[in-house]
Homo-oligomer: A and B are copies of this chain.
Amino acid sequence: MLDHLYDYLQGKFAISKEDYILVQQASRKRKLRKGQYILQEGEICNFVAFVALGCLRNFRMDEKGQEHIVYFAIENYWTGDRESYVLKEPSKYYIDCVEDSEIILFSRENFELLCAQIPKFGELMNMLIQKSFMASQNRIHSSISFSAEEKYQDFLNNHPKLANRIPQNMIAGYLGMTPETLSRIRNTIKARNT
């Protein structure tokens, strides 16, 4: 029943049936409801998660209770708090579900074992971190260079699929602006296109 992940890994490096059985044995599936947390501030992130269905977000909460979102993970994306995982320190992040979701969880032990047992799997993870880094660089550039409207346009260009399924207050929290500002920006864009 882990077909989603199997298709994904097939697409990445043509995993063998036998190796996939290892993956299956190392993981467990979890169904989650919208709003449910898989990580909370202060906990050590001892897992890596693959999103088979739905959408999750990584965010921090500030003293005023405002949520600042650093990452969305939809189908075929991985999530977790890399920093807490690597350093084995309490996380500064929350991870919760934006929609009802299905994820495949790997405990730290199992995940490291898999990376060692299936070299291609380990390489894939290195490649993913590299891609994450490249994406982060681009996000940093956008966030230090662009006006609020430009940031939103950039978001639409880079994440057309997210734009349609994520509430706007979260998009605002991802872009570093208030929901009111985002709403006004959408207005002026709409006005311009008429």
Chain A residues proximal to chain B, CB less than 8 Å? 60, 62, 66, 68-71, 82-83, 86, 126, 129-130, 132-134, 136-141, 143-145, 173-176
A70, A130, A139, A176 — which one has the most chain B CB atoms within 10 A of its CB?
Answer: A130
A68, A141, A173 — which one has the most chain B CB atoms within 10 A of its CB?
Answer: A141
A161 CA to B60 CA in the complex, in Å?
A: 27
Q: Are B134 and A70 in contact (CB under 8 A)?
A: no
Q: Are B176 and A145 in contact (CB under 8 A)?
A: yes
Return chain B residues, CB-CB under 8 Å to A62: 145
Q: Are B145 and A68 in contact (CB under 8 A)?
A: yes
Give the residue of B82, B137, B174 whose beta carbon is less than 8 angstroms from that of A82.
B137
Return chain B residues, CB-CB under 8 Å to A134: 82-83, 86
A132 CA to B136 CA in the complex, in Å?
A: 10
A174 CA to B69 CA in the complex, in Å?
A: 21
Q: How far is the CB of A81 from chain B (nearest CB, A)?
A: 9
8 closest A-B pairs by beta carbon, nearest first, are A144-B176, A136-B136, A133-B133, A68-B145, A143-B143, A83-B134, A126-B126, A68-B144
Q: How far is the CB of A190 from chain B (nearest CB, A)?
A: 24
> 17 A-B Cβ contacts within 8 A?
A60-B145, A62-B145, A66-B145, A68-B141, A68-B145, A70-B144, A86-B130, A86-B134, A126-B129, A129-B129, A133-B136, A136-B139, A140-B143, A143-B143, A143-B176, A144-B175, A144-B176
Return chain B residues, CB-CB under 8 Å to A70: 137, 140-141, 144
Knowing that A68-B144, A143-B144, A144-B175 touch, tell me 16 more A-B residue pairs with CB under 8 angstroms: A62-B145, A68-B141, A68-B145, A69-B144, A70-B140, A70-B144, A82-B133, A82-B137, A129-B129, A133-B136, A136-B136, A136-B139, A136-B140, A144-B174, A144-B176, A145-B176
